Every structure is written in structure tokens, then in C-alpha cells.
Amino acid sequence: MEGIHCLRRMTLQDAPRGGRMVRETPGETAKAGSTDPAAEGAPAKPPTIYDVARVAGVSHQTVSRLLRGYEGIRPQTKTRVMDALQELGYRPNLAARSLTTGRSQRIGALTHEIDQVGPSKIAQGASVAARQAGYLLDIVTLDMSNADAINDALELIMQHDLAGVLALASTDEMTQAFEAADFRVPAYIAAEEDDAFSNRRSELTSVGLPALIAHLAGLGHRTLLHIAGSTTYSAARNRRRAYEAAVADLSLHSQGVVYGDWSARSGYEAITGLRGKLEATAVVAANDQMALGAMLALTEQGYRIPEDISVAGIDDIPEAGYFSPPLTTLRVNFAAQGRNAVQQLLGQIEGFTPPSSTGLTSQLITRRSTGPAPGTAGHK
């Protein structure tokens, strides 16, 4: 179907890990005098959650909650359960569970730009959480340039018996389209809330970005420049506002905000397209890819990083530590966002109250792309 790509993430394996096949000649087992059914080739009984609970030293209810994606479990307990699951090779029996509960164990997930870091890691986190809870996650990527893409995708995935639909929205257009859609099954729309209309801000914008700006201020930088993402993304607007607020709180100066589209190319063009002299001694990009493009443009213009100008990004993509120089950035836990989205959907499907979302969390990762501002002590 034009504009739609369906990726089926199979989350179960047919064969046990580490297993091996042994062939025996007829009568060989009888000669050995074995009466063990397993030795006679009878299949071993698969482990249950009661077996997992016994090995982990917890209740079977605790195991069940963890498998459903519940995150309100103590880290030490979670570690014991996860070790027991791996030791026993536990795999949820979807067919048996469907017969018992009378509902499907499949979830349809709608997303777009699956090649981008954020959407990809969110989908991966959702897939892991669904598997741990005993569900299969079918991911459908949308071409948002096609006005009929969402309706076509819904028709495609609703041909299957689904327990629910997970709508992963990145843009305002996607959120509005999902809100108007008729899912006909339990559905959860996972979208980053716009801080301007929310009672609470995520840890990324309330703690992470202020920490990044404070890091630059501590290096003596007083004038900064921000490369923002597309304004149709609530994430871009939240990061821009958090940047502006942190700059104001620390009595710094911003040369302004230039806009990109999250790509390295747009970060490059944001720098080459600047009007007038670059006064900023530090550039803060809304994601690592735009930071990469900005670094190339600055280098081509004769700037040394970080001796002449510092550059920082957000996301901490796998390549960030291998930029030249390695990039200072905020590490964002996108996978947790995907896990939380599945947990919220499972609450609707299975009738339990999931814990409230903590929003995006982040960690400041300092590398060699940031250094003392020119003219300050410690500058080389």
C-alpha cells in the first residue's frame, strides 16, 4: 500500500536458547534403562510464572506485574526476576493466554520517521515492553505527506485481531489525526506534551537543558545561539523555550534562534545562512544531527571547536562520541517513553491503573566539543 510500510516485530522464538538436538537409534534409550521422559525425547514442560517466582524468591503477582510492564518495582527485585526469566528461558505462551483471557495478544503501533533516533528508540522501547508483557507489537510506519496515510494504516492493521493500538505521535498533525481517528479498540496516543499547555514540564526541559546551559556558563560563555527543530514538533518548541528560559535565568545573552528540520543538512545551513557576524561563543542545537552539520559549517569557516566556539547537542546518538571533536550533549531516555506508552495502553486493555508518566529524562554528557570561552581563564 503506497505510503505505508508494515514491519512485523516477532517477539517470540520457536527454539529454546542454548538448546541442542540429540539423535538416538531405536531402542538405545531402553538399553540404557532410562525411565526419564525427558531422556526418551518427551518435550520438557515450559516454565511458568510460578517457576520464575520460585527462583526469584518473589510472588507470582510480582512476576506478572513486571511482565505487564509495571515499573513501580524495586530495582533489586526487578533484577532477580529478570535473572530468573533468563535462567529458565521463560517465554509467554500467547496462544494459551489468548484462550484464557478471550482477547488478542497483538498490539498495533503507528509511527513515522522510524529512521530518526527519537521515534526509532521509542518504538524499540515499546517493542521490548510489549514482549515482556506477553504481546506481539506490529509496527506500521506512516508517510505523513499522504493525507490518507493514517486511515489506510488503520484499515491495514484492523484486518488483524488487535488488543489495542499504540499511536506514537511526533508532530501536531499526527496528534490531531490520531485524536480524530476511530480506532474501535483500546488506544493510547503517546505524544510529548507542549510545556506551554501542561501543568508540568519534563525532566529534560526543567532540569536537563538548564544543566547544559549552566555548563556553558561555567565555561565563561555569555552569548549563545540556538538551532531549533521544526515548529510543528512540540519537542522543538519545548527545547527552544527551555533554552530561552535558562539563558534568561543565568543573565546570559542569546544571539537568537535559527530553525532546522532535525537533519545534519539543516544544521549546516543554519550556520551558513546566518546574517551578519557570528557573535555567539557557543551553539546549542536541538539535536545531535543538527549539531553535526553546524560543526562542519563552522570548521569550513575557519572556527576551531572548542577553542574558538563550543557546540552542544541533545539526544546522545550512538555516533555523538565519535564526532570530531566528540560532542557534548544531553542523553535522552527515549526507550523509557516507549515503555511508558505500552504501560498506559495495557492499563486500558487489562483494566489496571498504571503509574503516571515521568516524562523524558536526560543526563548531561560532557565531551570535547565544549571548552572555555575565548578570552576567559583556562582558554587556550
Q: Residue 368: pLDDT above 70? A: yes
Q: Does residue 148 have a pLDDT over 80?
A: no
Distance CA 258, CA 238 (A): 15
The pLDDT, as a whole number, for residue 97 is 52
pLDDT computed for residue 73 by the predictor: 85
pLDDT confidence tier of residue 234, bands split at 50, 70 and 90: very high
pLDDT at residue 68, rounded to an integer:
65
- Cα–Cα distance between 111 and 167 in angstroms, integer? 7
pLDDT, tens digit, for every residue of 278-304?
999 999 999 999 999 999 999 999 999
**283 three-class SS:** strand
Check whether 275 has a pLDDT greater than 70. Answer: yes
* Integer Cα distance of 295 and 300 in angstroms: 9
Report residue 142: phi and psi, to 5°: -105, 145
The percent of residues above 70 in pLDDT, for the chain, comes to 82
Percentage of the chain modeled with pLDDT above 90: 51
Q: How far apart are CA 370 and CA 215, in angstroms?
A: 9
pLDDT at 22: 32
Q: Which residue has the higher pLDDT, 22 or 110?
A: 110
**Mean pLDDT confidence for 56-65:** 85
Does 36 score more than 50 pLDDT? no
Tell the burial category of 252 from Cβ atoms under 10 Å away from its Cβ (0-12, 13-18, 19+). middle
Give per-residue burial for 205-217: e unless 16+ CB within 10 Å, then b.
Answer: bbbbbbebbebbb
Q: How far is CA 288 from the centre of its chain?
A: 15
Higher pLDDT residue, 37 or 321?
321
Binned at pLDDT 50, 70 and 90, residue 358 comes out as: low
Highest mean pLDDT among 6-15, 86-95, 147-156, 222-231: 222-231
Does 214 have pLDDT greater than 60? yes
Q: What is the pTM of this model?
A: 0.73
Beta bridge pairs of residue 226:
257, 284
Which among 142, 164, 138, 163 has a CA at the least distance from the CA of 151? 142
Residue 318 binned pLDDT confidence (cut-offs 50, 70, 90): very high
Cell of 139: 509496527
What local confidence, expressed as pLDDT, does residue 105 receive? 84
Residue 166 has pLDDT above 90, yes or no: yes
Please check the confidence at residue 21 and state whether its pLDDT lies above 50. Answer: no
Give the three cell numbers for residue 184: 474501535
